[in-house]
Amino acid sequence: MDKNLNLTIDTLIKQHPIILFMKGDKYFPKCNFSQQAVNILNTFNIEYHTINVLNDNNMRSGIKIYSQWPTIPQLYINQEFIGGIDIICHLYRTFELHEILEIHINS
């Protein structure tokens, strides 16, 4: 992966405590999986940042290389890769995402 793109992704993840790389943005998701991720995050009434990978093909492919995860959306909390939509849904259903976010809010 291009060094500049790697640095850009690294910087974004460090700048935003909760960041979702997705298709579209939190106001207008452009795929069902991104919509599901936004819906889950919105249940927590928290601030989070989104990156629309559809605006940049390099970002779209680069985030997959960066995380070593093949799908989008991808969620990071406190610079830690949480996972894609399947993991996000599982963590939400088992209340583990609640615990992760509670730790984030209290840190």
What CATH number does domain 3-106 carry, 2.30.29.30, 3.40.50.10880, 3.40.30.10, 3.40.50.970?
Answer: 3.40.30.10
The yes-or-no verdict on residue 12 having pLDDT over 90 is yes
State how far the Cα of 83 lies from the Cα of 25, in Å rounded to an integer.
Answer: 18
pLDDT tens string 55-83: 999 999 999 999 999 999 999 999 999 99
For the chain, give the mean pLDDT. Answer: 95
pLDDT for residue 107 is more than 70: no
| Domain range list for the chain | 3-106
* pLDDT, tens only, 16-45: 999 999 999 999 999 999 999 999 999 998
DSSP string, 21-49: EESEETTEE-SHHHHHHHHHHHTTT---E
**Model pLDDT, residue 2:** 84
Pairing, β 28-29 against β 24-25? antiparallel
Tell me the per-residue pLDDT of 43-52, one tens digit each, with 9 for 90 and over: 998 999 999 9
Write the DSSP assignment of 56-75 as a string of letters.
Answer: -HHHHHHHHHHHT--SS-EE
